[in-house]
């Protein structure tokens, strides 16, 4: 007989800690937050670049662009929409990590799928958005959000072993 037990309930490595749902939520929320920050900075950079080019062309410091002022307006609106979306994603990812406002976390993960203003990042943001949606659909994660909304868990529970508020130590 081999040294490895094939039973499902057997723990081959008891010294390794089990992954808690806090650990399961932390990684995708951190990645979603990082992607939101990248998109926010890209939106600011796009707006500043388009504005600088428009100002230089208006004062004759550079040759007039081959595009009309409407192009500047469209680019600016697109960038501002991306900045607002990215700010919402940052807020939702922060709330997701703290198990607050489940609906905001779900909306933020759906907005991650749009990847505005960085449409070129769609292959990455789509994977991250789907991953966070799958994590948020887990029963234990949803129960943790519900417990936080009911007030039976402390908002800063984190990995605390006795984080319930209705227990007396």
As a whole number of angstroms, the distance between CA 157 and CA 107 comes to 23
Which DSSP helix (H) or strand (E) runs through 113? helix 102-114
Position 91 confidence tier, pLDDT thresholds 50, 70, 90:
very high
Phi first, then psi: what are they for 153, rounded to 5°? -125, 145
Position 20 confidence tier, pLDDT thresholds 50, 70, 90:
confident
pLDDT for 54 = 72
As a whole number of angstroms, the distance between CA 108 and CA 33 comes to 10
Position 123 confidence tier, pLDDT thresholds 50, 70, 90:
confident
Q: What's 120's DSSP letter?
A: G
Q: What is the mean pLDDT of residues 40-68?
A: 72
pTM: 0.71
For the four alpha carbons of 140, 10, 162 and 25, in that order, the dihedral sign comes to negative
For residue 107, pLDDT beyond 90: yes
Phi first, then psi: what are they for 125, rounded to 5°? -70, -30
- Provide the residue ranges of all domains of the chain, joining segments of one domain with +: 21-150
What percent of the chain clears pLDDT 70, i.e. is strictly above it? 70
Q: What is the mean pLDDT of residues 12-17?
A: 64
pLDDT for 93 = 92
């Amino acid at each position: 007989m081999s040294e490895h037990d094939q039973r499902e309930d057997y723990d081959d490595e008891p010294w390794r800690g089990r992954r808690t749902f806090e650990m399961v939520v932390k990684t995708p929320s951190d990645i979603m937050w990082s992607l939101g920050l990248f998109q926010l900075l890209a939106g600011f950079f796009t707006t500043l670049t388009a504005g600088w080019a428009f100002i230089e062309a208006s004062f004759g410091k550079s040759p007039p662009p081959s595009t009309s002022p409407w192009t500047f307006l469209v680019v600016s609106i697109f960038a501002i929409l991306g900045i607002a979306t990215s700010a919402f994603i940052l807020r939702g990812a922060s709330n997701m990590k703290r198990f607050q406002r489940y609906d905001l976390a779900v909306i933020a993960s759906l907005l991650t799928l749009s990847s505005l203003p960085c449409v070129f990042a769609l292959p990455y943001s789509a994977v991250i958005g789907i991953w966070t949606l799958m994590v948020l659909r887990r029963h234990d994660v949803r129960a943790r959000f519900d417990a936080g909304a009911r007030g039976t868990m402390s908002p800063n529970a984190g990995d605390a072993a006795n984080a319930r508020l209705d227990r007396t130590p």
